[in-house]
Amino acid sequence: MQAGSTHEVKVELEEEGVMGQEVVVLGDRLRSQAKALSQQRNNPNITVVSADQIGRFQDANIGDAVKRIPGVTMQNDQGEACDIIIRAMAPELNSVTLNGDRIPSVEGGNLRVQMDLIPSDMIQTGEVNKTLTRDIPPLRLVRPGGQNKGC
- Single-letter amino acid code for the residue at 129: N
CB atoms within 10 A of CB 88: 7
Query: H helices within the chain, ranges in order?
Result: 28-42, 51-55, 62-66
Residue 46 three-state SS: strand
- What residue segments make up the domains of the chain, in order of their start? 28-130
Counting beta carbons within 10 angstroms of the beta carbon of residue 81, is it exposed (0 to 12), middle (13 to 18) or buried (19 or more)? buried
For 92-128, the pLDDT digits (tens) are 888 888 777 888 887 777 788 888 888 888 877 777 8
Superfamily of chain region 28-130: TonB-dependent receptor, plug domain (2.170.130.10)
For 8-34, the pLDDT digits (tens) are 889 888 888 878 888 776 655 556 666
- The reported pTM is 0.53
